[in-house]
């Protein structure tokens, strides 16, 4: 709903005074009604199936509910903010929070830069474009299990192709997934490789909206390739970059599959993420505690998204 009202604001409004306040409010009212009508199917489904559990989980995060209480869910004690306090006192939670922060702070820029580079490259070639586009996009649609099996094979310490390549040039490759210092970076690289396809397609679409005349005008003015990219293309891509940063940030804050199938959170919890921690807590039966951790993650997502909107919002 908020996007529906803010999006038109960035569009240039017709110059001149309003052609009549009454007509505009009528039009606005009609638009509002249409918006609600279009949102209705979602709202109904949300109210019927999601709102209850969401509300219940919020309540649950303030109780000491465990899986042994499932038959008597109201016979639990109120814990106020105890769960939240305990979370920040848990050394493991602090560790997984740091892991997740590193994953997001390194992974999101890395993925975006790679995706933008691929998109710019593809935008400038005409031959084989479809082929490369497919190639970069393929990891996105491949099952994470298949991807992880292949990557685990690639990263094998002794027999893996990565280390054999390194060995061929005289470097003894490390145990990528077994070394606590290298396991998380390895997963970040894999995640960037796996997710850059989606962003690349979005950026490619964004690049094609950059008016050719603007670029040509800049060229006539003597701007070089990099200057044109830096001062014409990038500013025009801002909304696209914002969208890319938001969806990648949300996805990376919740990263789970990669460590779940590749490293099982190890070695020494070096690749355990907040989502993984929440998953563990739910499976241990600590429902109240796990719900509290979920809301901390939810707040982190809200904060990150708000920051991204501030930093990358289109300049007026």
Partner 1 sequence: MSRRPIITATALAAATALALSACGRDDDAGSGDGNAAPSADLTDGPATGTIEVWAMGTEGELLGDFLADFEDANPDVTVEVTPVPWEGAHDRIATAIAAGETPDVSLIGTTWMGEFAATGGLEATPTDVFAEDDFFPGPWASTVVDGTSYGVPWYVETRALFYRTDLADAAGLEPPASWDDLKAFAQGLQQAGAQQGIYLQPGQGGSWQTFMPFAWQNGATLTDGDAYTLDSPEMTEALEYYMSYFSEGLSQDTVLQPGALEQLFADGSIGAFVSGPWHIGLVRDAGAADAFDVVPLPGKDEAPGTSFVGGGNLAVFTDSDNKDGAWKLIEYLTESAVQQSWYETATGLPSRPDAWEDGPLTEDPLVAVFGEQLEQTEAPPAVPTWEQVATVIDGNVEAAVRGTIPAADAVADMQSQASSIGTGLQ
Contact set with partner 1 (CB under 8 A): 55, 59, 63, 66-78, 152, 157, 175, 178, 264, 266-269, 280, 283-286
DSSP for 113-156, written as a single string: HHHHHHHHHHHH--TTHHHHHHHHHHHHHS-HHHHHHHHHHHT-
Nearer to partner 1, 160 or 197 (CB): 160
Nearer to partner 1, 228 or 272 (CB): 272
Instruction: Give the pair of three-digit tokens for residue 214.
Output: 């603007």
Pick from 308, 110, 102: nearest CA to 196 = 110
Q: How far is the CB of 291 from partner 1 (least distance, A)?
A: 15
Q: How far is the CB of 11 from partner 1 (least distance, A)?
A: 25
Q: How far is the CB of 30 from partner 1 (least distance, A)?
A: 18
Q: How far is the CB of 55 from partner 1 (least distance, A)?
A: 7
DSSP for 233-247, written as a single string: IHHHHHHHHHHHHHH
Q: How far is the CB of 60 from partner 1 (least distance, A)?
A: 11
Nearer to partner 1, 178 or 239 (CB): 178
Distance CA 109, CA 215 (A): 26
Q: How far is the CB of 195 from partner 1 (least distance, A)?
A: 25
* Torsional sign, CA 290, 291, 294, 296: negative
- Tokens 């509300």 correspond to 55
Nearer to partner 1, 160 or 244 (CB): 160
Q: How far is the CB of 63 from partner 1 (least distance, A)?
A: 7
* Torsional sign, CA 103, 104, 105, 107: positive
Nearer to partner 1, 180 or 235 (CB): 180
DSSP state of 314: P
Strands of the chain, DSSP E: none
Distance CA 154, CA 176 (A): 10
User: Phi, psi at residue 65, to the nearest 5°?
Assistant: -65, 140
Nearer to partner 1, 269 or 273 (CB): 269
Nearer to partner 1, 72 or 126 (CB): 72
CB atoms within 10 A of CB 120: 15
């Amino acid at each position: 709903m908020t996007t529906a009202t803010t999006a038109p604001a960035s569009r240039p409004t017709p110059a001149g005074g309003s052609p009549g306040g009454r007509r505009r409010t009528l039009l606005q009212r009609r638009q509002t009604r249409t918006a609600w009508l279009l949102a209705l199917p979602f709202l109904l489904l949300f109210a019927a199936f999601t709102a209850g559990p969401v509300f219940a989980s919020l309540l649950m995060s303030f109780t000491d509910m465990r899986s042994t209480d499932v038959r008597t869910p109201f016979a639990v004690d109120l814990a106020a903010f105890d769960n939240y306090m305990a979370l920040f006192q848990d050394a493991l939670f602090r560790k997984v929070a740091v892991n997740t922060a590193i994953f997001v702070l390194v992974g999101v820029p890395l993925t975006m830069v790679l995706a933008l580079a691929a998109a710019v490259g593809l935008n400038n070639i005409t031959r084989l474009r479809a082929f490369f586009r497919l190639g970069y996009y393929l990891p996105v649609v491949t099952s994470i299990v298949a991807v992880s099996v292949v990557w685990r094979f690639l990263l094998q310490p002794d027999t893996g192709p990565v280390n054999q390549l390194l060995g061929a040039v005289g470097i003894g490759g490390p145990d990528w997934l077994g070394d606590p210092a290298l396991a998380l970076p390895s997963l970040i690289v894999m995640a960037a490789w796996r997710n850059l396809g989606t962003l690349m397609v979005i950026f490619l679409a964004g690049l094609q909206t950059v008016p050719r005349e603007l670029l040509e005008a800049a060229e006539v003015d003597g701007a070089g390739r990099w200057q044109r990219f830096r001062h014409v293309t990038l500013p025009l891509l801002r909304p696209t970059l914002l969208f890319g940063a938001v969806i990648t940030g949300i996805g990376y804050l919740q990263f789970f599959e990669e460590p779940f199938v590749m490293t099982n959170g190890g070695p020494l919890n070096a690749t355990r993420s907040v989502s993984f921690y929440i998953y563990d807590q739910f499976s241990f039966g600590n429902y109240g505690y796990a719900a509290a951790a979920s809301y901390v993650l939810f707040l982190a997502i809200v904060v990150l998204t708000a920051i991204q909107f501030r930093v990358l919002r289109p300049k007026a």
